[in-house]
């Protein structure tokens, strides 16, 4: 007897095209370009390195949670990968619940160069833009 595979279906019995679904976290072209530039700088120092950008949420900041960014060489088992062009973004499962639906942009203006996260899950944010509460 052949083993039956589980397939997700909607109520009409249609199989959804998960590849066509929007990413759970959106990244602007400016954010992707900024990360690509940083990755290119790292490649000049170490051509053999293959880095990905981890975006995470941790306790702290003036509103309870704060965002963090770090380059890593290896993804963890619970990471969600989002690939945009030549850039791979990673989000761990704990952070994912706080970041789903968010958009990440990069701004270069009078305030300086910075990544900006617009997060619909945040009920309050602080003036610095790097901490929030849910």
Residue ranges of the domains in the chain?
23-133
Taking the C-alpha atoms of residue 99 and residue 120, their distance in angstroms, rounded to an integer, is 8
The pLDDT value given to residue 4: 44
The pLDDT value given to residue 52: 96
Taking the C-alpha atoms of residue 60 and residue 67, their distance in angstroms, rounded to an integer, is 9
- The closest of 8, 33, 40 to 104, measured between CA atoms, is 33
Say if residue 60's pLDDT is above 80.
Answer: no
Taking the C-alpha atoms of residue 84 and residue 29, their distance in angstroms, rounded to an integer, is 9
The pLDDT value given to residue 111: 79
Return the higher-pLDDT residue of 67 and 52: 52
**pLDDT tens digits, 92-134:** 999 998 899 999 999 998 878 889 888 887 765 655 555 444 4
Taking the C-alpha atoms of residue 103 and residue 85, their distance in angstroms, rounded to an integer, is 17
Identify the CATH number of the domain defined by range 23-133: 2.60.300.12
Binding residues for iron-sulfur cluster, by number, are 62, 126, 128
Return the higher-pLDDT residue of 17 and 25: 25
Kindly indicate the confidence band of residue 7, based on its pLDDT and cuts at 50, 70 and 90: very low
Is residue 116 within 8 Å of 34, Cβ to Cβ? no
Q: What share of the chain is helix, strand, coil (3-state, %, to 5)?
A: 20, 35, 45
Calculate the CA dihedral of residues 116, 122, 124, 129 and round it to 10 degrees.
-10
Say if residue 12's pLDDT is above 70.
Answer: no
Binding residues, by number, are 62, 126, 128
- The closest of 31, 16, 20, 8 to 102, measured between CA atoms, is 31
The pLDDT value given to residue 69: 93
Say if residue 89's pLDDT is above 90.
Answer: yes
């Amino acid at each position: 007897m052949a083993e039956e595979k589980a397939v997700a279906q909607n109520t009409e019995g249609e199989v959804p095209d998960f590849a066509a679904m929007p990413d759970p976290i959106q990244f602007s072209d400016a954010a992707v370009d900024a990360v690509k530039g940083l990755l290119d700088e790292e490649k000049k120092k170490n051509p053999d390195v293959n880095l990905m950008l981890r975006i995470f949420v941790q306790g702290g900041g003036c509103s309870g949670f704060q965002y963090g960014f770090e380059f890593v060489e290896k993804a963890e088992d619970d990471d969600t990968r989002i690939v945009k062009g030549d850039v791979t973004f990673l989000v761990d499962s704990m952070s994912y619940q706080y970041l789903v639906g968010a958009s990440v942009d990069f701004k270069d203006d009078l305030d300086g160069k910075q990544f900006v996260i617009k997060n619909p899950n945040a009920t309050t944010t602080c003036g610095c833009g790097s901490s929030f509460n849910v």
